[in-house]
Amino acid sequence: MNEDDLTVTLNNDLERKIAEAFLIFDHAGNKTVDAREIPTIVRSLGCCPTEAEIQEIIVANEDQESPGNVHLSDFLSYMVQVITERK
């Protein structure tokens, strides 16, 4: 992972809210979280997904180069789409 991978541009309030929730669980400071933290992050955003939906989110966003981890940029774009579609 290079330094460019660590840069994520936030364009609006929704993206900021998602990023803030995500970064609370980014203990290493590398814009990634353990996939097991995803349910807590998603629920902190006011979403009430089923276990099947949680698994779908994890599978769609899990880092292929680092299984078990989710990168902010992937999670951010995915959740913006999910939340926008549900409004």
CATH of the domain at 76: 1.10.238.10
Provide the pLDDT for residue 8: 64
Question: DSSP string covering 30-41, please?
Answer: SSEEEGGGHHHH
**Among residues 22, 1, 2, which one has the least CA distance to residue 10?**
22
Q: How far is CA 43 from CA 16, 18, 22, 61, 70, in A?
A: 16, 11, 11, 16, 16
Domain tally for the chain? 1
Provide the pLDDT for residue 11: 75
Domain residues for 36? 9-86
| Residue-wise pLDDT tens digits, 9-45 | 667 999 999 999 999 999 999 999 999 999 999 999 9
Provide the pLDDT for residue 50: 96
| Residue 3 is assigned to a structural domain of this protein | no
Provide the pLDDT for residue 25: 98
**Among residues 3, 28, 9, which one has the least CA distance to residue 73?**
9
Q: Quick one: pLDDT band at residue 7, thresholds 50, 70, 90?
A: low
- For residues 56 and 24, what is the distance between their CA atoms, to the nearest angstrom? 22
Among residues of the chain, what percentage have pLDDT more than 90?
83
